[in-house]
Amino acid sequence: MIEVKNLNQSYTKHGKKKTLENINLTVKEKAITALIGPNGAGKSTLLGVTANLIKPLSGMVMINGIDVRNIKTDELAKKLAILKQTHNINIRITVKDLVEFGRFPHCGGRLTDIDKQKVKESLEYMNLVGMEERYLDELSGGQRQRAFIAMILAQDTPYIFLDEPLNNLDIKSSVEMMKIIKSLVTELDKTIVVVLHDINFASAYADYIVAMKNGRIAGEGSMEEMITKEVLDEVFDHDFNIVTHQGRNVCLYFDRTFNRRKIYEVI
């Protein structure tokens, strides 16, 4: 179980401007939690602090009742895997080698048959068969994104954090990715926190939705509670239209009349 308690974080010295303010959160086990919120809300920072990559100002994160800062790095890597929003790797590496790195916490780099099997499965899961020997810098953005997610899958941890996994993916791949994420929960009992910018994907696939704004939790709850005009208008400072389709709330975010008038005014 992951619990975040009274968490505060700041990138500035002496904590003048807080990036995270008094965050309290318990991550739902064996479910998909979608983290939504505008740019700069602190979503990535929250994931970073929770994964012990960023130091908090105060408060703590507990995984199965132990403070993350007291868990050895190599132990933590077997519990929690995180896909970062941006991957800046400055080495030239093939897809297969990258995915094999995902096994490092388990085998220290000496791959056993089990590790090789996991790598193979992850590659298959992410539809990367045939691309194993391609270099990452020769792939399209979406293929590269899938390779990184395959590495996370190979890490085979009970907790998985995905920071905008749909980055660079086309619509079909996005839907497939969300299905894969869903199957990780239903078939493999994983606990997943995923940052999503497309609220409709959150609405369609998430079991639980947490919204952030200005470093605080602006609301949390089920799809029905969160995907409403009141909540979303407040979180995103935007005029939403919500319709219901097949029992799920769907957002229409564009407002054509508004845009047209705006452009007209500018001209």
Ligand X SMILES: Nc1ncnc2c1ncn2[C@@H]1O[C@H](COP(=O)(O)OP(=O)(O)OP(=O)(O)O)[C@@H](O)[C@H]1O
Query: Which chain residues interact with another protein by CB under 8 A?
Result: 51-53, 72-78, 80-82, 84, 87-94, 97, 101-102, 104-105, 108-110, 132-133, 155
Partner whose binding site includes residue 1, from ligand X, another protein, Mg ion, none (CB under 5 to 8 Å by kind): none
Query: If you write DSSP's letter for every residue of 109-169 in order, what string do you get?
Result: T---HHHHHHHHHHHHHTT-TT-TTSBGGGS-HHHHHHHHHHHHHHH--SEEEEESTTTT-
From ligand X, Mg ion, another protein, none, interface partner of 109 (C-beta below 5 to 8 A by class): another protein
Q: Minimum CB separation from another protein for residue 89, in Å?
A: 6
In degrees and rounded to multiples of 5, residue 176 shows phi and psi of -65, -40
Rounded Cα distance, 214 and 216, in Å: 6
The stretch near Mg ion (CB under 5 A) out of 41-49, 67-75, 166-174, 176-184 is 41-49
How many Å separate Cα 73 from the centre of its chain? Answer: 20
What burial class does residue 170 get, using C-beta atoms within 10 Å of its C-beta: 0-12 exposed, 13-18 middle, 19+ buried?
A: exposed
Pairing relation of β-strands 58-63 and 66-67? antiparallel
Q: Which does 39 bind (CB under 5 to 8 A by kind): another protein, ligand X, Mg ion, none?
A: ligand X
Per-residue contact track with Mg ion, 186 to 205, x per CB under 5 A? --------------------
Determine contact, residues 224/240, Cβ cutoff 8 Å.
no
- Residue closer to ligand X (CB basis): 11 or 253: 11
Do the beta carbons of residue 81 and residue 191 sit within 8 Å? Answer: no
> Given candidates 9, 33, 44, 191, which one binds Mg ion under the rule CB under 5 A?
44
Confirm or reject binding of residue 85 to Mg ion (CB under 5 A): yes
Q: By CB under 6 A, name the binding residues for ligand X.
A: 11, 19, 37, 39-45, 85
Listed in sequence order, the residues at least 6 apart from 170 whose beta carbon sits closer than 8 Å to its beta carbon are: 142
CB-nearer residue toward another protein: 134 or 248: 134
CA distance 132 to 96: 5
Q: Does residue number 168 form part of the binding site for Mg ion (CB under 5 A)?
A: no
| Closest approach of ligand X to the CB of residue 45, in Å | 3
Contact set with Mg ion (CB under 5 A): 44, 85
